[in-house]
Chain A
């Protein structure tokens, strides 16, 4: 029973992180219908910047945190400006394969700089963040990841619903040409969605790094797990991303705990194939009506 609850807690917090990573992915997809295959590399980037700030530069945790998030934000901007903007108006297939290329570039760069080793952050979380409840002990990281996941869900929800930039984004997602003709700065919207996506990705990368340690290969493979998550939640639904993340996270930890650890990493993809068979537009996605 204790093992079960431990796995449950574990799964939920990992799930929130997957969900967060997926939120960034969905944002890019919503605004420009691009499947971003470099998302995992953005995650790893955030984690490594934070690592460098904390260990090498020796900055206090809060400063390091702020700097890495800013770094990710700028990174998203730069990616959009350098690589995506020349392709506005080109067929989507080029843009998607471009992100495949970007993923290779970033992975190569990070391997060159930091190597393929596993790093861990120094322990900095306050121990009083952990929760004791009966015989179950929830470590501070898990509490933190759940809190951050919820926080970002609410923030992004508010952003899309009320802020003008958020409304612009929704309008661009719906109809790019119409938004352009109404004076929405479409390129800025693209840039902003990439920047926010990178920020959210970096954020989840940092927390994942606290849980599992930091390694280029591991973190970038999380970026691919985003696909089962978003297919489960519906490619265009932010809330669905979180729920999809939770389901995948739970599934993974339970498979790892009860069945076999090597099956753990494949299970999300098996689920993905089944979801495509049964409910292809996801649990919360919309079926579009095509007009001819």
Chain B
């Protein structure tokens, strides 16, 4: 098998309807026993877009992502994805719908190798049934090889060739974040949701990650929602930003607009520091 260089095969269908990701969130509300985490948040994402969600700690960013990926159940509001109401679907059903995510505090399988972690993400794309698997029929073997190929392409793209057989538990933090991104990519998501992918990284690691994200978005039109604290990164790679504070949407717009929005500045810098 010749070595792979270039863009992973799963991105071949860039323009096809298969990659369509139209997300529409309206009036989303979530509270935990009286504490409001989200209040009437509305936003939308269109195919090929990179939307950044920013906000101070406790603004409800992660709560929003957890609602989108089915970990929390919103009390009010609807989430429409590609014309389908997905508000009350379970996490694993949402993954089938095409919403993949990474986690804020890495949630990998520490005992498994990088390769098995990523192969696991191919689970939803495995077609074979239990009966075939029990006998390990040639069709199962062929399919496993095909999935391995996809995973290897992603490994090449993310420059992880050297660590593919290492157990994830033995990797440094920055690499684990990268493995998690790779695993989410292996899901072949229509909409990729990234929860603070830069947190706790060194400068070099951040640069690599920005490169990957920018390439994914600009070259292959991967639709993404990015939650991030690091303003310089957010301002540089996103076209549109949503700012949250105390569970409510403060502002939405281009990076320049957000940067100069008095409400946002107030939320970040405090009451007195109005410029």
Contact = CB atoms under 8 A, between A and B. Distances in A.
Chains A and B touch each other in the complex, with CB atoms below 8 Å apart? yes
Contacts of B103: 292
Nearest to A289: B32
B62 A292 contact: yes
A289 B103 CA distance: 17
B71 interface: yes
A290 B103 CA distance: 13
Contacts of A289: 32
A175 to B, nearest CB: 15
Contacts of A290: 71
Nearest to B69: A292
Interface residues of B, number: 7
B267 to A, nearest CB: 23
B78 interface: no
Interface string A275-292: 000000000000001101
Q: Tell me if A's interface is mostly helix, strand, loop or mixed.
A: loop
B89 to A, nearest CB: 16
B66 interface: yes
Nearest to B91: A292
B32 A292 contact: no
A68 to B, nearest CB: 45
Contacts of B62: 292
A154 B59 CA distance: 43
B107 interface: yes
A292 B107 CA distance: 9
Contacts of A292: 62, 66, 71, 103-104, 107
Interface in A233-292: 289-290, 292
A185 to B, nearest CB: 27
Contacts of B66: 292
A290 B32 CA distance: 11
Nearest to B107: A292
Nearest to A292: B71
A128 B103 CA distance: 67
A292 B32 CA distance: 15
A246 to B, nearest CB: 29
A289 B63 CA distance: 12
A88 to B, nearest CB: 18
Interface in B210-245: none
Interface in B54-108: 62, 66, 71, 103-104, 107
Contacts of B71: 290, 292
A292 B62 CA distance: 8
Nearest to B103: A292
Contacts of B32: 289
A289 B32 CA distance: 9
Contacts of B104: 292
Nearest to B195: A292
A114 B32 CA distance: 55
Interface in B99-119: 103-104, 107
A290 B71 CA distance: 8
A173 to B, nearest CB: 20
A230 B171 CA distance: 41
Nearest to B104: A292
B145 to A, nearest CB: 33
B20 to A, nearest CB: 26
B61 to A, nearest CB: 12
A292 B103 CA distance: 7
8 contacts: A289-B32, A290-B71, A292-B62, A292-B66, A292-B71, A292-B103, A292-B104, A292-B107
Interface of A: 289-290, 292
Interface of B: 32, 62, 66, 71, 103-104, 107
Q: Top 7 closest A-B pairs, CB basis?
A: A292-B71, A292-B66, A292-B103, A289-B32, A290-B71, A292-B107, A292-B104
Given A292-B62, A292-B71, A292-B103, 5 more contacts: A289-B32, A290-B71, A292-B66, A292-B104, A292-B107
